[in-house]
Structure 1
Amino acid sequence: MNTRKLLVAIIFLSSTQLAFASSSIDNLTQKNQQKNIEITQKYAASNNKSVPEIVDYKYGMPIDVKKLIHATKEIKTCGNYKKIMSFEDSQGDLHAVRYTVLGSCRQSEG
């Protein structure tokens, strides 16, 4: 009986850690996205260009990057998360693309 209680306690504590880590990554991703939007808006205003809408990357989507405006920071995590890259293409138009990357963590580095 004690083993069962211990197992339940371990599962409960593990699930709360996982939920906290997930919400923490979501918060960082949201902050990074907001920073990207602000930087892109400032760049667009100072260069008399329209602010781009963030588009989710789809496999095979052509990307024409002439000038990188901003890319969100890497997040140390053992899972996937979203990044955004804002850039100017060869025609001078601004774009913002959101894509998924695999985070790096100590377990996957070694």
Structure 2
Amino acid sequence: MKIINQLGIIMGFWIAGDFLSRLIASIIQIPSAIMGMVLFAIALTIGIIKEHQVKEISDLLLNNISFFFVPASVGILAISGMTANTMFKVIAITIVSTLLTMFVTMWVTHALIKRKKKRI
């Protein structure tokens, strides 16, 4: 029951984001999911919602986040009609960019740790 209540809190912010998004649609177009996340972040920041009130459902959703990307990825591949050659290029770019990101992150972290040790 606790998880259902927590999911209700998150869905409530999504619905509020949808309402607000429709309300300001004539001024600016913001997707309702983004608006809901902004409202949720503001509620967490100012203390309307406490972290413990949504911890279990948040952990569940974050631990299974890759599952939510599978339908979107398959849909993109099906709609785009990628050939094997194009698919190889996409996979190669993904691997290279991931390794590059990891290397840059490692280098920056190492530099920051070194800099912090010099201060002490």
Same fold (TM over 0.5): no
Q: TM-score, normalised by structure 1?
A: 0.33
Structure showing the higher strand proportion among its residues: 1
Structure showing the higher helix proportion among its residues: 2
RCO higher in 1 or 2 (8 Å CA, sep ≥ 6)?
1
Bigger Rg over Cα: 2
